[in-house]
Structure 1
Amino acid sequence: MIPFSNLLVFSLAALILVISPGPNMLYLISRSITQGKKAGLISLAGVICGFLFHIVMVSFGLTAVLFAVPYAYDTLRILGVLYLLYLAYQAVKPNSKSIFEAPQDLPHDKPSKLFSIGFLTNVLNPKVAVFYLSFFPQFIKSEYGSVMTQSLQLGITQVLVSFTINLIIVLSASKVAVFFAKSPKWVKVQKWFMASVLMGLAFKMALSKAK
């Protein structure tokens, strides 16, 4: 089992990453703003199920890759660094939007469709798989036991962090969107803070060594 202190560090990283711009976040916010909190919660349930799908697939994949492929750890670490730098650029690139600048002209969908779109948005999002494959190995050590067990432990931790933050965002999306609309300077602060933290995580990951 992974030590609690390492899980805390991973949880912090997951916290930062879950509030970075992406299809899941934009979908949840747009539905919460245009169709209400109930629609946002149903969409969130779909997104979480998508995470669970990725976790199972990646856990089996990591177990096979880390034991069968030479230099797999370094390859995944480099992918992780590039992924974090990409997210940092996306946060501050010209004309980039705040995560709460969601479109407000979406049609209303039935609960089943809200759930399925949330699920498919996550399952078909390659960034989620890249995050798991590149980031998980940084916290996995052979002395902690089964790679699969550790992967599942990290996955469950990430899902709990993601669910908590996304739940808060769904419940407060409308109010926060209004706040950012009235205070554009805070949009820039949010973007640059996000980019700085992501670059810091990328630098830490670049200096990490194989377990």
Structure 2
Amino acid sequence: MDVVIAHLPNIALAYFVFFLTVVSPGPATLAIAGASMAHGRTQGMAKAAGVVSGSFLWGMLAVFGMAAFLNSFAGVLYWLKILGGLYLFWLAYKAAKNAGSSEDPERADIGGRSPLKQYVGGFVLHVTNPKALFGWAAVITLGLRPDAPLWMGFVVFAGAYVMSLVINFAYALFFSTDRMIKGYFKVRRWVQGVFAAIFGAAGLKLVLQG
């Protein structure tokens, strides 16, 4: 307990940084919001589950110091960024296609699209983004002092991961309300256009960094 108390200032800073990172709009949160508005709560929750599963994987790797290990293998990170960028381009293409459609191609799919596909999509989106791994590495580093035992890394991870669960599933719940869904279909083409631009820009950034 004394060890935890001694680390509280570091942990508080780490959690604050993590909160800002997760709550700010990005490809993952936009994908959750999009699935929730276009296909309903079940699909939005499935997308969020995929994202937080990917987050769990990166968080565990960060706890065990794998971020530094992977960083030493430039080839692995290079192809991971390329794959992540290509996947974001695919999401941008789908969003642009929907934005260009005069009809509502997704309206009939509310509640009908496979939650498993949404889960896999969320997972792939998160695990092909190396920024998520290094974001976790930064959080773990901020939360620990140099003399911290290994188990303290799990303490920092546990609190941050609970925060990730709450925020991502809150996005799914909020954007799947009847009011949000009805509002989405009124401005669907504009929303999908914005999604296409953001996904495309994020994909381009990953590919260029690769």
Shorter-chain TM-score bucket reads 0.5 to 0.7
Aligned-pair CA distance for 1:173 = 1.6
Identity score, percent:
4
Letter in 2 for 1:16: G
Query: For residue 37 of structure 1, what is the aligned residue in structure 2?
Result: none
8 A contact 2:28–2:126 mirrored in 1? no
Report the counterpart of residue 97 of structure 1 in structure 2.
98
The structure-2 alpha-carbon separation of the partners of 1:129 and 1:194, relative to structure 1 and needing over 3 Å to count, comes to: closer
Residue correspondences, number: 184
Matched ranges for 1:117-128 at <5 A = 118=115, 121-122=118-119, 126-128=123-125
Shift of 1:86: 3.1
* Structure 1 residues 86 and 102: CA distance shift in structure 2, 3 A: same
Q: Structure 1's 188 and 165: CA in aligned 2 closer, same or farther, altered over 3 A? A: same
Give, as a single letter, the amino acid of the residue that structure 1 aligns with 2:143. Y
The Cα of 1:124 is off from its aligned counterpart by 7.3
The CA deviation string for residues 42-95 of structure 1, in whole angstroms up to 9 with x for no partner, is 554555555555554544444446189464586675466435533552354485
Instruction: Say if 1:10 and 1:139, in contact at 8 Å, map to a contact too.
Output: no
Q: Return the TM-score normalized by structure 2.
A: 0.56
In the TM superposition, residue 130 of structure 1 has moved relative to its aligned partner by 0.8
CA contact (8 A) 1:29 1:173 kept: yes
Whole-Å separation in 2 of the counterparts to 1:166 and 1:123: 16
Q: How many Å apart are 1:97 and its aligned residue?
A: 2.8
Query: Residue in 2 aligned with 1:166?
Result: 172
Q: SS where residue 98 of structure 2 aligns? A: coil
1:120 & 1:87 partners in 2: Cα distance? 14
Q: CA RMSD in A?
A: 4.5
Is residue 197 of structure 2 the alignment partner of residue 192 of structure 1? yes
Work out the CA distance in 1 between the residues paired with 2:155 and 2:73: 17
1:36 aligns with none
> After superposition, where does 1:1-211 map in structure 2 within 5 Å?
1=11, 3-11=14-22, 15-21=25-31, 27-32=35-40, 40=41, 42-51=42-51, 53-64=53-64, 66=66, 69=69, 71=71, 78=78, 81-82=81-82, 85-86=85-86, 88-93=88-93, 96-98=97-99, 103-106=106-109, 118=115, 121-122=118-119, 126-128=123-125, 130-131=127-128, 134-141=131-138, 142=141, 144-145=143-144, 146-171=152-177, 172-181=180-189, 187-196=192-201, 198=202, 202=206, 206=209
TM-score by length of 1: 0.56
Question: Which sections of structure 2, spanning at least 5 residues, go unmatched?
Answer: 1-10, 145-151
- Contact 1:140 / 1:150 at 8 angstroms: preserved in 2? no
- For 1:158 and 1:28, how far apart are their aligned partners in 2? 17
Is the 8 Å Cα contact of residues 28 and 125 (structure 2) preserved in structure 1?
A: no
Contact conserved, 2:44 with 2:172, CA < 8 A, in 1? yes
Partner amino acid, structure 2, of 1:118 = P
Cα-to-partner distance string for 1:158-186 (whole Å, 9 max, x where unaligned): 333322332232111232112225xx5x6
